[in-house]
């Protein structure tokens, strides 16, 4: 592939060296679980996002599951989930024995504003997903959830670093869940995740659940599991976090090229520019999605589809309902390459090919 969708082996030399140095340091110290690097990572993320409790864990899916368990959501309970998301959001609801109730999204994959119509006497929580990096309008959602007395778990896996009304993604709800999967905006060199919360008791519960129910070694106060972050991943994250703003800046610059160069194509809908958005995925929409994908592929350009099937259409999650916006996005959405390792001239080349396709 001439212009890959994402090739992490393109990381610049300075970053590679800093990561190698960090690896050497951790190896020398010989500490691979807990330790200073983990504490530093949690403190840095907590400070940056103004979250009093930042609890690292093994991955973003676990973060969601830990949040549900800490909120004692389980059999007999319902949780409202957008129809368009990565499966984890619904998967964890089933994993704790509760039932996901799917609701349609708007045209860009954010939970449709009338989601409260899905509330029943069994509803315990709603999980807004800040899809592609764009935030769900949180003040309105929080007001509705409060009125209905249900919990809010933000799935902020794709939106690290986005703010709305001065408040970071993941810090609005009862719990905010982050993923540091390698392809994310802030990605580890492996798996990692985090729960954010303003609530001390909930934070304690999440910490216990993620470490066999123990705060002190061999004192098990509840039945938990192991979902600890690797010290090595926390150490790498401490390096990567330092470059986060720079990488967002680069993504922004590249996205501006797409917005400018593709603006005139009538058969193409570009993602809205939004203040409360980070730049994670640049998803365009066209009815000729599959043909365009094929055309770009045959010209050496990698693209991706996030996601080709809405969750309630996947047989193991099957559910009936009006999911027309989400389904349309799954049929028409195409993610163009957007990452800090791309050159501006490569993005110009992608734009040229997209224009050529529509001409």
Ligand X SMILES: Cc1ncc(COP(=O)(O)O)c(C=O)c1O
Is 202 an interacting residue with respect to ligand X (CB under 6 A)? no
Is 85 an interacting residue with respect to ligand X (CB under 6 A)? yes
Is 205 an interacting residue with respect to ligand X (CB under 6 A)? no
Nearest CB to ligand X, comparing residues 56 and 89: 89
* Rounded least distance, CB 341 to ligand X, Å: 19
Secondary structure of 233-299 in HEC code, one letter for each residue: HHHHHHHHHHCHHHHHHHHHHHHHHHHHHCCCCCCCECCCCCCCECCCCEEEECCCHHHHHHHHHHC
Q: Report how far residue 135's alpha carbon sits from residue 137's, in angstroms, rounded to the nearest whole number.
A: 6
Residue 182 half-sphere exposure toward CB, CA atoms < 13 A: 7
Is 187 an interacting residue with respect to ligand X (CB under 6 A)? no
- Residue, CB closest to ligand X: 60
* Rounded least distance, CB 158 to ligand X, Å: 5
Contact range with ligand X by CB under 6 A, out of 9-17, 34-42, 56-64, 288-296? 56-64
Is 210 an interacting residue with respect to ligand X (CB under 6 A)? no
* Rounded least distance, CB 153 to ligand X, Å: 11
| Tokens linked to 322 | 């009006």
Number of H helices, E strands in the chain: 11, 11
* Rounded least distance, CB 17 to ligand X, Å: 26
120, 148 in Cβ contact below 8 A?
Answer: no
Binding residue (CB under 6 A) for ligand X from 41, 86, 108, 282: 86
Give me Rg for the CA atoms of the chain. 21
* Rounded least distance, CB 131 to ligand X, Å: 6
Nearest CB to ligand X, comparing residues 195 and 292: 195
14-17 long-range CB contacts below 8 Å, 24 or more apart? 15/239, 15/240, 15/243
Residues 120-149, interacting with ligand X (CB under 6 A): 129
Is 158 an interacting residue with respect to ligand X (CB under 6 A)? yes
3-state secondary structure of 194: strand
Is 61 an interacting residue with respect to ligand X (CB under 6 A)? yes
Is 179 an interacting residue with respect to ligand X (CB under 6 A)? yes
| Tokens linked to 85 | 């998301």
* Rounded least distance, CB 42 to ligand X, Å: 17
140, 112 in Cβ contact below 8 A?
Answer: no
Q: Report how far residue 54's alpha carbon sits from residue 175's, in angstroms, rounded to the nearest whole number.
A: 10
Residues of the shown chain interacting with ligand X in the complex, contacts defined by CB under 6 A: 59-61, 85-86, 88-89, 129, 155, 157-158, 179, 181, 193
């Amino acid at each position: 592939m001439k212009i890959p969708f994402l090739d992490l082996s393109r990381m610049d030399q300075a970053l590679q060296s800093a990561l190698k140095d960090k690896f050497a340091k951790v190896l020398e110290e010989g500490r691979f679980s807990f330790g200073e690097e983990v504490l530093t990572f949690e403190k840095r993320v907590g400070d940056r996002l103004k979250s009093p409790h930042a609890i690292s864990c093994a991955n973003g899916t676990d973060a969601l599951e830990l949040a549900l368990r800490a909120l004692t959501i389980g059999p007999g309970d319902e949780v409202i989930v957008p129809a368009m998301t990565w499966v984890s959001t619904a998967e964890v609801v089933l994993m704790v024995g509760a039932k996901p109730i799917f609701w349609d999204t708007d045209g860009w994959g954010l939970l449709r504003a009338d989601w409260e119509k899905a509330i029943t006497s069994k509803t315990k929580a709603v999980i807004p997903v800040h899809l592609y990096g764009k935030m769900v309008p949180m003040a309105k959602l929080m007001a509705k959830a409060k009125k209905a007395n249900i919990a809010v778990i933000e799935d902020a896996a794709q939106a690290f670093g986005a703010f709305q009304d001065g408040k970071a993604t993941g810090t609005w709800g009862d719990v905010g869940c982050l993923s540091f999967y390698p392809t994310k905006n802030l990605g580890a060199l492996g798996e990692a995740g985090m729960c954010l919360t303003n609530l001390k008791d909930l934070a304690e519960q999440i910490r216990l659940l993620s470490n066999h129910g123990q705060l002190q070694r061999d004192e098990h106060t509840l039945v938990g599991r192991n979902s600890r972050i690797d010290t090595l991943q926390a150490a790498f994250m401490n390096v990567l976090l330092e470059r986060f703003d720079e990488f967002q800046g680069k993504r922004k610059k590249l996205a501006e090229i797409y917005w400018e160069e593709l603006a005139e194509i009538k058969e193409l809908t570009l993602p809205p520019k939004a203040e409360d958005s980070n730049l994670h995925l640049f998803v365009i929409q066209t009815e000729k999605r599959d043909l365009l994908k094929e055309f770009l592929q045959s010209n050496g350009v990698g693209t991706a589809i996030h996601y080709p099937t809405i969750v309630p259409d996947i047989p193991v999650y099957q559910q009936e309902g009006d999911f027309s916006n989400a389904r349309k996005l799954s049929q028409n959405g195409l993610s163009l390459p957007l990452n800090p390792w791309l050159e501006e001239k490569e993005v110009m080349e992608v734009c040229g090919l997209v224009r050529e396709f529509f001409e």
